[in-house]
């Protein structure tokens, strides 16, 4: 072992290597306990939010109707959930411009999803993906820009997908219900406070937007997006994969509704259910809760209610969808984190 001589008059340093074995042996067990505790807290939070936000009224009939569910849809839902993370890995590969190993990148998406369960606004996924790209050899600034571009590419991809679904002509009930709700909400808002609020908030939003546009982070993100535009193949892969991830979740949501017989939905309602998911997911994204817990469930149940589906079966379908696509991958992400560390 190499030693460094201390200056004269300095007391000898106390060796600290004796404490290393004890901490190294207890650290893995401590980390495992923390992970299981975090998972238990998340499950308890989900149950609490469901009861507080939705109440116990529709929860009881939803649980009672579980025995009548069409469980044949379950394997397809699991496959769609896995496909969602594979396509998310492909999107990350396109945004980074590197041929990342698909298996490890997919495991990273599971870990990113687990991190998103405790962080708002997708910050957990941003941190995990940035760390993964750095470990794969990308410089930190370029990795951060690639992840930021991936996040930004999700907006036009979702807009294109929503335009395609709405343009297919199967969303008449959804649009009529949305117009009715918008008219009722507008009638309840007094015009004078609305104008005053708009006069105060609009200039503040413009000022904040101008400052953000001049920031270094936004400038780097714009440069990264411009660099992606100079790579048409990677741009097509990124936007196409981002849209596919949303479409896969929307399809899983539609199958979850079809798996509940009491909803009365049939194959002819597929486009309306896809539109309901897109509208509900967009509405829940406005609430920066960790993983959208509570807001997503409430928004999706409201979207199904706009289609005339009763609250009990709607809640059962939403809980099935969120259980398979949202909570089931969490243990996989925790295990994948240990694998990626090795």
59-90: pLDDT as tens digits? 555 555 566 677 788 899 999 999 999 999 99
Counting beta carbons within 10 angstroms of the beta carbon of residue 121, is it exposed (0 to 12), middle (13 to 18) or buried (19 or more)?
Answer: middle
What would the DSSP string read from start to end of 91-141? HHHHHHTS---HHHHHHHHHHHHHHHTSSBTTHHHHHHHHHHHHHTT--HH
pLDDT by 10s per residue, the chain, length 342 = 444 444 444 444 444 444 444 444 446 666 666 666 666 666 666 666 555 555 555 555 555 556 667 778 889 999 999 999 999 999 999 888 888 899 999 999 999 988 887 776 678 888 899 999 998 888 888 888 888 888 887 778 878 887 777 777 544 555 565 555 555 545 544 555 545 555 555 566 556 655 655 555 556 666 666 666 778 888 888 888 988 999 999 999 999 999 988 888 777 778 888 888 888 887 776 666 666 677 788 888 888 888 888 888 888 889 999 889 888 888 888 888 877 776
How far is CA 173 from its chain centroid? Answer: 27
Task: Write out pLDDT tens, residues 199-227.
Answer: 555 566 556 655 655 555 556 666 666 66
- Distance from C-alpha of 281 to C-alpha of 275, rounded to nearest angstrom: 10
Q: What one-character DSSP code corresponds to residue 17? A: G
For 315, the enclosing helix (H) or strand (E) is helix 311-322
What would the DSSP string read from start to end of 62-86? HHHGGGGS-GGGHHHHHHHHHHHHH
């Amino acid at each position: 072992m190499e030693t460094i001589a201390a200056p004269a008059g300095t007391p000898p340093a106390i060796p600290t290597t004796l404490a290393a074995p004890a901490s190294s042996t207890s650290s893995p067990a401590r980390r495992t306990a923390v992970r299981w505790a975090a998972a238990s807290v998340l499950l308890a939070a989900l149950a609490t939010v469901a009861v507080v936000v939705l109440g116990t009224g529709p929860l009881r009939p939803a649980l009672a109707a579980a025995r009548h569910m069409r469980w044949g849809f379950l394997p397809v839902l699991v496959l769609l959930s896995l496909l969602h993370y594979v396509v998310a890995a492909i999107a990350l590969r396109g945004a980074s411009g590197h041929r990342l190993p698909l298996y490890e990148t997919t495991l990273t998406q599971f870990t990113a999803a687990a991190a998103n369960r405790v962080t708002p606004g997708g910050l957990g996924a941003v941190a995990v993906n940035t760390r993964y790209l750095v470990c794969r050899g990308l410089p930190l600034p370029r990795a951060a820009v690639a992840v930021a571009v991936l996040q930004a590419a999700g907006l036009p991809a979702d807009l294109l997908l929503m335009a395609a679904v709405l343009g297919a002509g199967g969303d008449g009930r959804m649009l009529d219900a949305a117009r009715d709700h918008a008219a009722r909400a507008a009638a309840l808002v007094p015009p004078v406070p609305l104008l005053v609020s708009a006069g105060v908030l609009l200039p503040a939003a413009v000022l904040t937007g101008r400052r953000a546009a001049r920031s270094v982070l936004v400038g780097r993100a714009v440069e990264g997006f411009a660099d992606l535009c100079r790579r048409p193949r990677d741009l097509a892969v990124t936007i196409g994969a981002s849209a596919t991830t949303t479409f896969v979740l929307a399809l899983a949501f539609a199958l979850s509704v079809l798996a509940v017989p009491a909803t009365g939905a049939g194959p002819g309602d597929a486009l309306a259910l896809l539109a309901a998911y897109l509208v509900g997911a967009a509405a829940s994204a406005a609430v920066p809760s960790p993983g959208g817990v509570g807001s997503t469930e409430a928004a999706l149940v409201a979207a199904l209610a706009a289609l005339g589906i009763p609250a009990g079966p709607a809640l059962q379908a939403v809980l099935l969808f969120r259980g398979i696509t949202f909570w089931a991958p969490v243990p996989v992400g925790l295990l994948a984190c240990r694998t990626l560390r090795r």
